[in-house]
Structure 1
Amino acid sequence: MALSGTLLAVSAFAELTQALDLGTGRVPQPLNRKMSLLSGTGAGRADRVFSDRRTLAASATEDLDLAGSLLDAFGQTITFARIKGLIVAAAAGNTNNVVIGNATSNAWAALLGATGTAIIRPGAFLALGTGEADAIGYAVTAGTGDQLKVANSAAGTPVTYDVHIIGVSA
């Protein structure tokens, strides 16, 4: 199965201004990054994608098994060997945070280490992309380093989040 049109882009723009005697000083500060991937498994390539909107009950957690239990849009099991892109977006209507990382067993430690976490506040998102020249990405080790934990940070209300994972099978 071929994967096409794989693009991850992030853009930020800020401008600092300050009043001066004879005008206003401006310093634009843009940051733009993009990653376009062709179909395949080497540098600048990807052949697997998982995308889903998920809901966790109050105080609930789940482990996303990056090597063997996620299903693609056609119902085929996905086994990632390396991750090239990851986006996790918390719904704006959430009351609690979405927390990723720190799986209790077989943690996918390539990104946050075995015990690290990232907190994604309501309406916020986390985006990670490797460079187009990167052939390695973030390694997934089936059976020992393939669990991405996602947690609802508190009791009381569920959280909804979108997840998009781009990677390679070999």
Structure 2
Amino acid sequence: MPLSASLAISAFAELSQAIDLGTGRVPQSLSRSAQLTTGTGAGKADKVFSDRRTLAASGTEDLDLAGVLLDAFGAAITFVRIKGLFIAAAAGNTNNVVVGAAASNPWAALLSATGTVTLRPGAACGFLAGSADATAYAVTASTADLLKVANSGAGTSVTYDIHIVGASA
């Protein structure tokens, strides 16, 4: 099944200050992007998982990156390499969404086995491995394939969106 993907991360800021005869401005920007076509090598991907998910108060889930997640057509996905990962916490959440540090078999290629990222309500994070990189971030079935997502507190559920692009080899 053909896949094309466009992954991008960007930031822009502009400092300004009144000066004698006008306003001085210093624009600053940083952006990176990758265009991926069908395949498994450098500049290629053949698997994608995208979903809006909800966790109960104090709830957690382990997303199994090797063989359990389903694509948009209901087929099981086995990622061997992750090329891009984007997660966004809903702005209406009361609690934070915490990503990483599965109790067993953690996918540690990005955050290490115990590392986490905390997404406050409305926050998002993402990474892209880049189109020139064939290695990306490895997933090892049964030993390093679980991405934990947790609701940081009691009382209310949290909702988050997730988008993963990767390769099967």
Same fold (TM over 0.5): yes
2:79 aligned with 1:80, yes or no?
Answer: yes
Tell me what 1:31 maps to: 30
Where do 4+ consecutive residues of structure 1 move more than 4 Å? none
Moved more, 56-65 or 120-129: 120-129
For residues 29-79 of structure 1, the C-alpha deviation after alignment (integer angstroms, 9 at most, x for no partner) is 012221110100000000000001110000000000000100111111100
Contact 2:46 2:166 in 1 (8 A): yes
1:138-157 matches, within 5 Å, as 138-157=137-156
1:12-27 matches, within 5 Å, as 12-27=11-26
For residues 77-100 of structure 1, the C-alpha deviation after alignment (integer angstroms, 9 at most, x for no partner) is 100001000010111110000000
> Which letter does structure 2 place at the counterpart of 1:130?
A
Tell me what 1:111 maps to: 110
**Separation of aligned partners in 2, 1:123 and 1:28:** 25
Cα offset for 1:19?
2.0
For residues 104-159 of structure 1, the C-alpha deviation after alignment (integer angstroms, 9 at most, x for no partner) is 00000000000000001111111111111011100001010000000000000000
Cα offset for 1:10?
2.1
**Separation of aligned partners in 2, 1:47 and 1:69:** 16
Tell me what 1:63 maps to: 62
- Counting matched residue pairs gives 169
- Report the 3-state secondary structure (helix = DSSP H, G, I; strand = E; otherwise coil) of the residue aligned with 1:112: coil
Identity of matched residues, %: 72
Cα offset for 1:18?
1.8
**Separation of aligned partners in 2, 1:168 and 1:112:** 19
Cα offset for 1:24?
2.0
Tell me what 1:96 maps to: 95
RMSD over equivalenced CA pairs, Å: 0.8
> Which letter does structure 1 place at the counterpart of 2:136?
G
Cα offset for 1:13?
1.2
> Which letter does structure 2 place at the counterpart of 1:142?
A
Tell me what 1:3 maps to: 3
> Which letter does structure 2 place at the counterpart of 1:135?
A
Structure 2 residue runs of 5 or longer lacking an equivalent are none
**Separation of aligned partners in 2, 1:133 and 1:115:** 28
**Separation of aligned partners in 2, 1:61 and 1:67:** 18
**Separation of aligned partners in 1, 2:71 and 2:94:** 29
> Which letter does structure 2 place at the counterpart of 1:144?
T
Structure 1 residue runs of 5 or longer lacking an equivalent are none
**Separation of aligned partners in 1, 2:126 and 2:106:** 19
